[in-house]
Chain A
Amino acid sequence: MAVCIAVIAKENYPLYIRSTPTENELKFHYMVHTSLDVVDEKISAMGKALVDQRELYLGLLYPTEDYKVYGYVTNSKVKFVMVVDSSNTALRDNEIRSMFRKLHNSYTDVMCNPFYNPGDRIQAFDNMVTSMMIQVC
């Protein structure tokens, strides 16, 4: 089950971050923050030659004892980070990919809203994220 979902802007500040266990939110914020380094490493490791073939889904960023962190970056350098409970071994790569795709689609919908200024905090994600956090259980 996804315990924390975050959308990070190009300048590395969070546009949206939400976690389910409401205690210890700070721990998740910190985890997401540290995972940004790994994301940057993965992006730069691709090298200039492979830029065309670069995939948006970054895969498992790093595992901790309780949680696994997955990353996804768009072409506009907006990053999606998802923290998943390690005890849920049934979650496969494909499922994580589809969750990221849904997130990406919702993000593009938010961008298309003429009243949304790029760089603002995102308000409209809550419904979709709640369904994602409960569903993948």
Chain B
Amino acid sequence: NKDLFVLTYGALVAQLCKDYEKDEDVNQYLDKMGYGIGTRLVEDFLARSCVGRCHSYSEIIDIIAQVAFKMYLGITPSVTCNNSSKNEFSLILEKNPLVEFVEELPAGRSSLCYCNLLCGIIRGALEMVHLAADVTFLQDRLKGDSVTEIGITFLKKRDEKKYRGKK
């Protein structure tokens, strides 16, 4: 049952908003927490999903979208590739279960990335399989955009032989 999880996440964000004045601080802490979760979650994910070795960044993103998101949040975002060198991707979430009960961002918090935890999780998980990535929110429904879009940019091109990207 997802309600408890969604309400817990909401309480977490509300508490962080009370503790820190600036939106950037809240976003940063959400990202840090997500990073901690991601480094641990990836082990659970790899154990449960038994995905094979990936050979390209787009395969990795497909697995994140179709297997990982499905497993942990019950949704399947769609994937688009943003540039021709194939290292920038976007995950587009039509429906985001984490913001189910949130009407809108509170006044004065307009640059709060409510789901920044997700960015941290993805970043942490990728780092544990030796892939450095930059993960941010490109669009956010809570800020008025039509969909929620997470942008993932892979930073260093790893040598193919050392490619242990199993995620």
Query: Interface residues, chain A, CB within 8 Å of chain B?
Result: 109-110, 112-115, 124
* Complex-state Cα separation, A112 to B10, whole angstroms: 9
Q: Which listed segment binds A: B25-33, B101-109, B118-126?
A: B101-109
In the complex, which of the residues A109, A110, A112 has the most CB atoms of chain B within 10 Å of its own CB atom?
A112
A interface, over-half SS: loop
B interface, over-half SS: helix
* Complex-state Cα separation, A108 to B92, whole angstroms: 29
Contacts of B106 in A (CB 8 A): 115
CB-based closest 5 A-B pairs: A114-B10, A112-B101, A114-B14, A115-B106, A124-B103
Contacts of A109 in B (CB 8 A): 101, 103
Contacts of B102 in A (CB 8 A): 113-115
What does the 1/0 interface line of B1-20 toward A look like (CB < 8 Å)?
Answer: 00000010111011001000
B103 touches A113 (CB 8 A): yes
Cβ contacts A to B, 20 pairs, < 8 Å: A109-B101, A109-B103, A110-B103, A112-B7, A112-B10, A112-B101, A113-B10, A113-B101, A113-B102, A114-B9, A114-B10, A114-B11, A114-B13, A114-B101, A114-B102, A115-B10, A115-B14, A115-B102, A115-B105, A115-B106
B7 touches A115 (CB 8 A): no
Query: Interface residues, chain B, CB within 8 Å of chain A?
Result: 7, 9-11, 13-14, 17, 101-103, 105-106
In the complex, which of the residues B9, B11, B13, B14 has the most CB atoms of chain A within 10 Å of its own CB atom?
B14
Contacts of B103 in A (CB 8 A): 109-110, 113, 124
Contacts of B105 in A (CB 8 A): 115
* Complex-state Cα separation, A115 to B9, whole angstroms: 11
* Complex-state Cα separation, A112 to B7, whole angstroms: 7
* Complex-state Cα separation, A124 to B102, whole angstroms: 11
Contacts of B9 in A (CB 8 A): 114
In the complex, which of the residues A109, A110, A112, A115 has the most CB atoms of chain B within 10 Å of its own CB atom?
A115
Contacts of A114 in B (CB 8 A): 7, 9-11, 13-14, 101-102
